[in-house]
Amino acid sequence: MFSFRPYRPLDEDFIYHSWLASLDRSIRGVNSAVRPLIDSCVSEERILVACSEDDPDHILGWVAWGEFDDEPVLLYVFVKRHLRGGGLATGLFTKAFSRRPETVLAAFWSFWVQRYDLKRKWNLKYNALLLPVMLDGLRDGKAESK
């Protein structure tokens, strides 16, 4: 079984590595562009971790979120490969977005979102311009990417 807990500094390497390693490295500068977004999720405590009930240091998955124009934004969900398809990501999503609107904005889109039909299942709305605007807001120090 698993439980949920907030991000802790001990999680840093795992969160950063799993997020950055999954990005398309063929596009130069993606890692350095996304790193400030991860930094903001860490500093604003917008990461929820799923861990083993027996060992809270054993990370099974995590979810990161942000806000844009006072709307919640799903930034990223990661679940270890051998645990995918068992409801862990849905548990993370449901816990992180417990007070969500009918539709949740999504800043990233991946093969896994499509494979598990998360657009329909979680009622996500992907906007390809959202991530660049949020990153630009972080660079400029604007509150719109809070």
- Fold observed for domain 2-145: Aminopeptidase (3.40.630)
Q: What are the CA-CA distances from residue 116 to residues 91, 94, 119, 146 (Å)?
A: 14, 15, 9, 29
pLDDT of residue 55: 95
| Polymer length of the chain | 146
| Gap between the Cα atoms of 46 and 28, Å rounded | 27
Query: How far, in whole angstroms, is CA 106 from its chain's centroid?
Result: 9
CB atoms within 10 A of CB 115: 10
pLDDT of residue 142: 54
Q: Is residue 125 within 8 Å of residue 36, measured between CB atoms?
A: no
Q: Which residues of the chain have pLDDT under 50?
A: 143-146
Q: Which residue has the tokens 């809270």?
A: 56
pLDDT of residue 143: 46
